[in-house]
Amino acid sequence: MQGGLARQRRRSAWLFLAPVLAVLLAVAGWPLARTLWFSFTDARLDAMAGAGFIGLENYAWLADDPDWWRAVRNTLVFAGISVMLETLLGLVIALVLNARMPGRGALRAAMLIPWAIPTVVSAQMWGWMLHDQYGVVNALLLGAGLITEPWAWTANPNLALGAVIAVDVWKSTPFMALLLLAALQMLPGELHEAAEIDGLGPVGRFFRITLPLIWPALMVAVIFRSLDALRVFDLMYVLTGNSSATASVSVYARQQLVDFQDVGFGSAAATGVVLLVAAVTALLLVFGRVRLGEAAGR
Amino acid sequence: MRARRLLFRAGFALLLALILVYTVFPFYWAIVSSLKGGSALFSASLWPARPEWGNYAAVFREQPFGRNILNSVVVAGSVVTLSLVLGVAAAYALGRVQFRGRSTLLVAILGVSMFPQVAVLSGLFELIRALGLYNNLAGLTLSYLIFTLPFTIWVLTTFLRELPVELEEAAVMDGATPFVVLTRIFLPLLGPAMATTGLLAFIAAWNEFLFALTFTLTDDMRTVPVAIALISGASSFELPWGRIMAASVIVTVPLILLVLVFQRRIVSGLTAGAVKG
């Protein structure tokens, strides 16, 4: 196309982009900058305008608060274990669904159910199933003789984080499985036939051929899930309230911000959440050997 | 050899059944529990002996649940409309026009959907209050654009990029403006992609909890997830589980029907959004 026409196109491109950029700057960029600013002030929820600058004081308090570090630990344990389990289980389910067999469509449809259910609803559903007195999980385990007395899954601090992880694994494994299934279905069938002729067994074929080929897709799925898991809020909030045994960094930050009305300190915690997420993502990108360009399409 | 194959098949079928029970049972249990009235709720029988609808009636009697559903529909509906209108325009620019800074912009937009929502909470709270939108559905709609817009733009851009250049070349040579090219040539082709992204945006907005919890105050402004999370009984020790399960079933059944009907589309949308992007 000629230069004049191309220039006109570029100008109209910016015109088309302007509304979106304006909206994103208003609802994402500006609030993010304000949060960062609040983290250096003593702002309160009822007096946000008259906030005074107090430097790094909020961050010093944050670093001194054992509850914050507990929340960091909870978040990392939650994200690490649940994403790992979801990846392994998701891979198994994807391999099963990839096999040619009757009822595959129905099973794939069933997989979408946990994904579509709102997190709040799945937390409530599991909260009821894990109820210490009337829960079906305790009833089944008691009936099978695996436990001798009912366990308080969500109230016992030693079990609660495990319960939260179990709910997340139930809810998010299907998502993982569907993404991995899509990657598996893009592999050419001839590869496996050639390997079979060369005498490679099913296990060898999986580790030598399938896994390396779906690795980029797998890592992208892992990064997506990890980002999601690191900002988890509703699951803990609904299943166990603000209990410090399970509180994630997001729960902690919101509690400071809204319940204790301490916007300055809460914003510092929120900034801490961003730093934590950024650090973990960077580590995943380095150790997963993913190039950002690849992950971001083309 | 034959016996081994049979054993293998049986094991495979068992694995399938196990996966199926694992994914479906919790929702099944919610339905069963919601149909149990009185003390039947506290027995672990896998089938309601005498199904009752009392819990369903109670959900609407004890709180403005009908209003909550309407709120969710209004918010999710307007979020989808806004995201699609704004998203299509942006995707056209990002997908069809070469200009400097395009890929940086795409990555930046994707980045917006990546950062934790709690990071914008205090700034957004201030903004929403300044605009007078606290405890107002418009405030929720505005805040939900943070996560629906980037996703919509990303998928639509990917889709538009794959279409051949010849499509618009002739029209541009004839002097058609970019607006005409977008609305007359691309929009009709974008139907399926827009249905997919719209559906995913709807589900995301329908399920959102953190913003809805923080930016609304009164019962009649709450969306469905917040209403369900905050259902409480006469005392804090006795949660009305039958009612909670009934409410859960009410909001989940339409969602599941939607998902089952548009199964293929959703899976392709998810993979376009995640595997490619």
Tell me: domain B64-276, CATH 1.10.3720.10, correct?
yes
Q: Is A81 exposed, middle or buried (0-12, 13-18, 19+ CB in 10 A)?
A: middle
Q: Answer yes or no: is pLDDT of A152 > 80.
A: yes
Check residue B63 and give left, alpha or beta (phi > 0: left; psi -120 to 50: alpha).
Answer: beta
Nearest chain A residue (CA) to B107: A296
Q: Measured in whole angstroms, how far is the alpha carbon of residue B144 from the centre of its chain?
A: 11
What pTM did the predictor assign? 0.89
Nearest chain B residue (CA) to A121: B248
- Chain B nearest-CA distance from A188, in A, is 17
Q: Answer yes or no: is pLDDT of A295 > 60.
A: no
- Chain B nearest-CA distance from A190, in A, is 23
* DSSP H or E segment with residue A63: helix A57-64
Tell which residue, B148, B173, B123, B33, has the closest CA to residue A128.
Answer: B33
Query: CA dihedral defined by A99, A100, A105, A109, rounded to 10 degrees?
Result: 0
What confidence tens digit (pLDDT) does each residue in B243-261 have? 999 999 999 988 888 888 8
Q: Which range of residues forms the domain containing residue A258?
A: 60-295
Q: What is the DSSP letter of B115?
A: S
Distance CA A212, CA A204 (A): 12
Beta-carbon-side half-sphere exposure of residue B120 (alpha carbons within 13 Å): 27
Q: What is the CATH number of the domain that holds A88?
A: 1.10.3720.10
The number of residues in chain A equals 298
Tell which residue, A254, A216, A2, A267, has the closest CA to residue B214.
Answer: A254
Tell which residue, B97, B112, B145, B197, has the closest CA to residue A17.
Answer: B97
Is A2 part of any domain? no
Confidence of residue B236 (pLDDT cuts 50, 70, 90): low
- Chain A nearest-CA distance from B252, in A, is 6
Confidence at residue A291, expressed as pLDDT on a 0 to 100 scale:
54
What confidence tens digit (pLDDT) does each residue in A24-64 have? 999 999 999 999 999 999 989 887 877 889 989 999 999 99
The verdict on a CB contact (< 8 Å) between A116 and B256 is yes
Distance CA A170, CA A115 (A): 9
ipTM of the complex: 0.88
Reduced 3-state DSSP string for A14-27: HHHHHHHHHHHHHH
Q: Answer yes or no: is pLDDT of B135 > 60.
A: yes
Is A83 part of any domain? yes
Residue A53 has φ and ψ, to the nearest 5°, of -75, 125
Q: What is the DSSP letter of B197?
A: H
For chain B, the structural domain boundaries read 2-52, 64-276
What confidence tens digit (pLDDT) does each residue in B67-94 have? 999 999 999 999 999 999 999 999 999 9
What confidence tens digit (pLDDT) does each residue in B2-55 have? 788 888 888 888 888 888 888 899 999 999 999 988 777 877 777 777 788 888
Confidence at residue B235, expressed as pLDDT on a 0 to 100 scale:
55
CB of B214 within 8 Å of any CB in chain A? yes
Angle formed at CA A283 by CA A278 and CA A289, multiple of 5 degrees: 125
Nearest chain A residue (CA) to B122: A35
Is A113 part of any domain? yes
What confidence tens digit (pLDDT) does each residue in A89-138 have? 999 999 888 887 777 777 888 888 898 899 999 999 999 999 888 888 99
CB of B135 within 8 Å of any CB in chain A? no
The verdict on a CB contact (< 8 Å) between B26 and A125 is yes
What confidence tens digit (pLDDT) does each residue in A243-258 have? 888 999 999 999 999 9
What confidence tens digit (pLDDT) does each residue in A266-293 have? 999 999 999 999 999 888 888 876 654 4
Tell which residue, A224, A206, A225, A229, has the closest CA to residue A276.
Answer: A229
Point out which residues pair with A47 in neighbouring strands: A44
Is A286 part of any domain? yes
Confidence at residue B144, expressed as pLDDT on a 0 to 100 scale:
95
Is A249 part of any domain? yes
Which residues from chain A sit within 8 angstroms of residue B19, using beta carbons? 93, 96, 107
The verdict on a CB contact (< 8 Å) between B121 and A253 is yes
Nearest chain A residue (CA) to B123: A31
How many residue pairs bridge chain A and chain B with CB atoms within 8 Å of each other? 280
Which residues from chain B sit within 8 angstroms of residue A13, using beta carbons? 92-93, 97, 99, 178
The verdict on a CB contact (< 8 Å) between A12 and B178 is yes
Instruction: Give chain A's domain count.
Output: 1
